[in-house]
Amino acid sequence: MITVSSFADEIISQTSHQTMIGGQSVSYSATTGFIPMRAQDGKETGKIFYVFYQREGVDLDERPITFAFNGGPGSASIWLHMGAFGPKRIINAQEGQLPCPPYRWIENNDSLLDVTDLVFIDPIGTGFSRPAQTDSKDFYNIEVDIWSVGDFIRDFVSLNSRWKSPKYVAGESYGTLRACGLADYLLSQHGLYLNGLILISCAIDFQTLDFVAVDNELPFSLFLPSYAATAWYHHRLDSDLTLDEVVQGARDFALDVYAPALMRKGKVPASLYPEIAKWTGLSLDLINRNDGLIDDQTFFVNLLGDEKKAVGRFDGRLSGQLAWPRTVQNYYDPSEWQIEGVFTASFNAYLAEELGCKLPWPRYKIIANLPWAFGPGCPNKMPQLRRALVLNPEMRIFTACGYFDLATPFAAAERCFSRLWTPHDSTVVFGYYEGGHMFYTNPAALKKFKADLVKFFDRK
């Protein structure tokens, strides 16, 4: 076990800014820096890089502070930073940004900075954060990842005198599993009680998502409502239903008919094949050849197969040419490669030009291919979340889902929280958005997300 603590932080840059959020002027400071991770003997084991935005002229004892990160594992925090929460956001493809330079960012009118101070964390191995020894793999497993980020949060709170502030953690994708583990770890190891969790595109119990796991039947029913939403978007359903009606109809079929039949009989009855075709937009012949079991990759390459196109895993609304030979082995997610270059170049330029953070080394890693050890079985942090809620029943949870997310579908999140058995009916609030895994890249979805979070922070 690695135990970490810091003696001091290392400030790289501090700048002052002013922006408009929701029609009001907001003055704030921006700080970039590192907090070192140290073993019990004081030896440095690594450094975690952060960007900290603090609103000026407010009472810090009353002012919430939110610690945010993305997932992967192996992703830096730039997606939430400059796609959703931060004071500036990157123009996306829906607004005319091309996948090649030049790139632009603008003031984020839907930033959370008017509501909460923001700390964007790059876990070890991502961004500028590195282990002390370049060949070290000590940080690259779920538990040590949670410990290191948790100790960073504890140390940041102490170094910046924020123990009295309401404290929130926001995670996306794998980051939601990290966030649930942190709710338990921070409480049990540091006595730090969170006011709330913001969980975006949930990946808390991997059994709900893993088609490869042996004898795991859950994903086949839990992905089906998201297949239906995506098929609806691409006009592949013979229906005049609205998106909400399609989602509810597919959800009812998947959970009330399809899943019970699969669980009871061990296979899908052929009598259900026409209904599966109805909700997925796939051919009856394909359903039959796959015994009524449609995994995610089969859906990606077949929904628009007649157009020689594939749909995006992270955002089913997006499509791209399927490379020849047109099989799953030649699938490249169009919803990933259409934005990665835009965010990479824009964020590096933003760091240097607006935040004054110019670090030639280490190089900033947007996506790092870390030698991650998940351990045996499917990771699951629902038990830790339950325990945290037993000990801290006032902690509230906001769960945000994209209708067209084919990586972490909304029905999987719904299943997790239906088994949470929370002490209060209002503990968990859901938000649904017309977008994919990073639904906030849709400007309309981001605006709705911000409005929903303002209500979440306002609840006492």
The residue ranges of every structural domain in the chain are 10-207+340-458, 212-335
For residue 215, is pLDDT > 90?
no
Q: Is 256 exposed, middle or buried (0-12, 13-18, 19+ CB in 10 A)?
A: exposed
Helix (H) or strand (E) segment spanning residue 230: helix 224-233
330 band by pLDDT with thresholds 50, 70 and 90: low
For residue 214, is pLDDT > 90?
no
For residue 233, is pLDDT > 90?
yes
For residue 265, is pLDDT > 80?
no
For residue 286, is pLDDT > 80?
yes
3-state secondary structure (DSSP) of residue 367: strand
Q: ω before 64 within 30° of 0 (cis)? A: no
Q: What share of the chain is helix, strand, coil (3-state, %, to 5)?
A: 40, 20, 40
Q: So what's the pLDDT on residue 423?
A: 67
96 band by pLDDT with thresholds 50, 70 and 90: low
Q: So what's the pLDDT on residue 326?
A: 63
Write the DSSP symbol of residue 67: E
Q: Which stretch of 36-45, 84-93, 94-103, 127-136 has the lowest confidence by average pLDDT?
A: 94-103
363 band by pLDDT with thresholds 50, 70 and 90: confident
For residue 5, is pLDDT > 70?
no
- pTM for the whole thing? 0.94
Query: What phi and psi, each to the nearest 5 degrees, are found at residue 84?
Result: -135, -60
Write the DSSP symbol of residue 207: G
Tell me the C-alpha distance between 259 and 458, whole Å: 38
Tell me the C-alpha distance between 103 and 78, whole Å: 15
For residue 3, is pLDDT > 50?
no
Tell me the C-alpha distance between 54 and 41, whole Å: 33
339 band by pLDDT with thresholds 50, 70 and 90: confident
Give the pLDDT mean for 90-114. Answer: 83
Give the pLDDT mean for 151-157. Answer: 96
Q: Which stretch of 25-39, 87-101, 328-342, 417-431 has the lowest confidence by average pLDDT?
A: 328-342
Q: So what's the pLDDT on residue 209?
A: 95
Helix (H) or strand (E) segment spanning residue 450: helix 443-458
Residues 10-207+340-458: name the CATH superfamily. Answer: Alpha/Beta hydrolase fold, catalytic domain (3.40.50.1820)
For residue 199, is pLDDT > 70?
yes
Q: Please report which residue ranges of 46-204 form alpha helices under DSSP H.
A: 78-80, 142-159, 174-190
Q: So what's the pLDDT on residue 333?
A: 76
Give the pLDDT mean for 67-81. Answer: 96
Write the DSSP symbol of residue 254: I
